[in-house]
Amino acid sequence: MIKAGIIGATGYAGNEIVRLLMSHGNASVEWMVSKSFEGQDFSTIYRNFFEVLNMECLGNDLDPLLDRVDVVFTATPQGYLSSILNKEMLDKAKFIDLSADYRIKDIETYEKWYRIEHKSPDLIKEAVYGLSEVNREKIRGTKLLANPGCFTTCSILTAYPLMKEHLIEPDTLIINALSGVSGAGRGAKTANLFCEVNENAKAYGVTNHRHTPEIEEQLGYAYGKEIMVNFTPHLIPMNRGILVTETANLTEGVSEDMIRAAYEKYFGEEFFIRLLREDENPETRFVEGSNFVDIGFRIDKRTNRIVMMGALDNLIKGAAGQAVQNMNIMFGFEENEGLTAIPMVP
């Protein structure tokens, strides 16, 4: 049994980590830290845990806490972990970070897009990008895991096999993504109020969303060269879910059979990636509450372009679920342990 600590436990992603670990056969929650709710019982903040979990949120005096755990999940804002983490802390426990602090290898790119100074650049080279199905072997041996976010996980996985096999022209890739409101976090923001979101849909971060370089970097690794994409996120009035629609030019001579074979080659044996049947399109309601990613595609023969589609739950596979999946890989557990919940419908 491994013991886990959670920093930022009272955010939406942190709350989901707590919930998932409580159904895990080989892990337990040892402590949780919350700057905003220090001293409060967790079940008074999330009443779904009433008479299920009796645990007080602690302050962020981490030195004594690290001696009590094997792994620490940090569901914290950008810049937090990079400002406190050092090699001595990594000698005590493994870290799974849900922020972007260690996802992007180029420091200048990180600082440009996130507009903050990176405080521990020496640790970036030690971090492994935690896209579970792509970097599984590297994940096994790391002490510092950079857990991908929801937009990036869905965007990268949906196009990855075709990039890897050079079946699409990389610089023609356009990604449109829809997100539920929980993706913006639990903090009080005017733009996320009910009256601002309900009966509305909007694009945001147009041409400058900070997940763009992360998507470009990872798909560039897949293709074998630096690439540029158009990424446009949209906010829609639902609690949770990500749906991406990606279009690109097909490489000359590529057939539908070649496309399907590529998806089968890379994802056919993956437990959490479901390749949909012909003429089926992903829908967020069929992945809600689960760690699954549904992927489908259509070829537009008229334009010689492909439409790739993916859907996931932004708080599970797009955050907490993938974090627990990566923990399972890092500690040698079955990869789906604690993560076998069937999607909730309706």
**How confident is the model over 59-74, as a mean pLDDT?**
95
Same domain, 12 and 135: yes
Exposed, middle or buried: residue 56 (CB in 10 Å: 0-12, 13-18, 19+)?
A: middle
Residues 24-34 pLDDT 10s: 999 999 999 99
Residue 338 lies in a domain: no
Residues 78-95 pLDDT 10s: 999 999 999 999 999 999
Residue 55 lies in a domain: yes
Rounded to 5°, the CA angle 261-263-265 comes to 65
Same domain, 141 and 223: no
Q: How many domains does the chain have?
A: 2
User: Is 57 a known active-site residue?
Assistant: no
Same domain, 143 and 10: yes
Residue 342 lies in a domain: no
Whether residue 188 has pLDDT greater than 80: no
Residue 336 lies in a domain: no
Same domain, 227 and 285: yes
Domain that holds residue 307: 151-313
Give the pLDDT band (50/70/90) at residue 149.
very high
| Active-site hit among 57, 150, 154, 195 | 150
Q: Which amino acid would we find at residue 49? A: F
Same domain, 113 and 55: yes
Distance CA 238, CA 284 (A): 10
Whichever domain contains 239, its CATH number is 3.30.360.10
Residues 276-299 pLDDT 10s: 999 899 999 999 999 999 999 999
Same domain, 14 and 139: yes
Average pLDDT, the chain: 96
Same domain, 223 and 188: yes
Give the pLDDT band (50/70/90) at residue 112.
very high
Residue 339 lies in a domain: no
Same domain, 88 and 217: no
Cα torsion at 58, 59, 61, 65 (round to 10°)? 10
Residue 190 lies in a domain: yes
Same domain, 31 and 88: yes
Same domain, 190 and 82: no
Same domain, 180 and 288: yes
Residue 20 lies in a domain: yes
Residue 340 lies in a domain: no
Whichever domain contains 21, its CATH number is 3.40.50.720
Residues 41-51 pLDDT 10s: 999 999 999 99
